[in-house]
Amino acid sequence: MSDKQFDVVVIGGGPGGYIAAIRAAQLGFKTACIDEWSNAAGKPAPGGTCTNVGCIPSKALLQSSEHFEHAGHAFADHGIKVSGLELDLGTMLKRKDTIVKQNNDGILFLFKKNKVTFFHGRGAFAGKLEADAGYTINVSGPTTDTITAKNVVVATGSNARQLPGAEFDEKLILSNTGALAIDAVPGKLGVIGAGVIGLEMGSVWRRVGADVTVLEGLPTFLGAVDEQIAKEAHKLFTKQGLKINLGCKIGAITKGANDVTVEYADSTGAEQKATFDRLIISIGRVPNTNGLGIETVGLQLDERGFVVVDDECRTSLPGVWAVGDVVRGPMLAHKAEEEGVAVAERIAGQHGHVNFNTIPWVIYTSPEIAWVGKTEQQLKAEGVQYKAGTFPFMANGRARALGDTSGMVKFLADATTDEILGVHIVGPMASELISEAVVAMEFKASSEDIARICHAHPSLSEATKEAALAVDKRSLNF
């Protein structure tokens, strides 16, 4: 096999792509990964949206802004006096960029370690080889080349959805990309969309001084979240100062020299107008197949632009697979990673597995929101008989010591078998606490199983145990 011939070529170096490439190489395949992301210096920046303008930089800014807010408000309760507090936004953004580069470089190191050949550029199908022997892939950009592959994994991710009439310029009208790089704290910040990105970015800029207004089209807040948890979160975010307006119908959006005006009808139908220094639009994401050469080989897309795959991520073409945001299912980095591993193992003749029912969801606001499995409203709609148990963090000793007692843990279990059907958390470190629930559900555990397990004291995880006890109405500390 020549240097231009590969067993597996992965197009896209985001979480699904780079993980698929590494796992394929571990399984003995000659593997390449193509990715076009570049940093400010023009160097390769694999990791996709997640690493470059998504999960990683947003968490960096969330952490920095939370420190700033704590120093200005919460430290006094701990007997720590801070005078002359000021924000150095340039340093905050530079720290974020450093963390992104560390992750980029880490992926490049992993490619070398696992003997994955990396091509810096855009990968596109150029044609099929004879006798179904694979595909020709062109690489264009910083690297120009033509390679062949027996198996191709499409992992090209997603792009921010545009709002018609309000195209992103990343200066006044911002996607997630621009929202992570505002060079001065805006006096008034508008956010269209109260989803994960809208709430996280709104929280970042509110903490450092912006007056943030969120405009959401749906009449309910966080409709995918358990209703009881969502109501608690809405109350807490409003108390913090986020102005959340539900049931808004967006009209004209007009850019001025240094501001953006949004016309909208509120939930009562009354016409409103608001002017912002910056406007973040976060109304979802769309699959990215731009420049992939799908017409060349006849790769099938559905009516929404997603690559059509079966339950095992096989596309309409033999030897072509697709994972992550470009296919059906939740647009989550960890879902993409699991699909990447599963596809590599399926190519090797193994039985890769992804359980969509136990994929955790997290919103990294403060308090954090995390959940896995069914919500109470889903169980009601499906006619499933269930039991519920909740436990508030205000009754948890570790939460009191931390100074963050907001929120609760909620368990939902089958009324007959007691099998855990869903766990929902709003509160401190929810993103870490949810993993216990994921493990429990993978092993088909009952709420009684969690209730009987010894949890360290004092710890936030005791709230999980207590919520499990509450399913049987025998919580010990509330």
Establish whether 27 is an annotated binding residue. no
Q: In terms of DSSP H, where are the helices of 367-429?
A: 376-382, 397-402
- 455 is known as an active-site residue: no
C-alpha to C-alpha distance for 457 and 466, rounded to whole angstroms? 12
* 134 labelled ligand-binding: no
Cα dist from 55 to 52, 66, 134, 363, 407, whole Å: 8, 16, 34, 10, 23
339 is in an annotated binding site: no
> What φ, ψ does residue 137 adopt, rounded to 5°?
-120, 125
d(CA 336, CA 103): 17
Has 199 been labeled as part of a binding site? yes
200 is in an annotated binding site: yes
Q: Is 343 annotated as a binding residue?
A: no
Q: Is 416 annotated as a binding residue?
A: no
The Cα–Cα gap between 252 and 163 comes to: 11
Give the Cα separation of 159 and 170 in Å (integer).
Answer: 14
Is position 334 annotated in a ligand binding site? yes
**CA 295/CA 297 separation, integer angstroms:** 5
Is 331 annotated as belonging to a binding site? yes
Contacts of 460 (CB under 8 A, 6+ apart): 393, 396, 398, 399, 402, 427, 428, 429, 433
Residue 403 gets the label, from left (phi > 0), alpha (psi -120 to 50) or beta, of left
Report CA Rg, the chain: 24
197 appears as a binding residue in the annotation: yes
- 165 marked as part of a ligand binding site: no
> Which entry of 67, 73, 353, 457 is annotated as an active-site residue?
457
To the question of whether residue 144 is assigned a binding role by annotation, the answer is no
- Is residue 212 a known part of a binding site? no
Annotated binding site: 59, 123, 156-158, 193-200, 216, 284, 325, 331-334
Annotated binding site for FAD: 59, 123, 156-158, 325, 331-334
Q: Catalytic residue numbers?
A: 457
Annotated binding site for NAD(+): 193-200, 216, 284
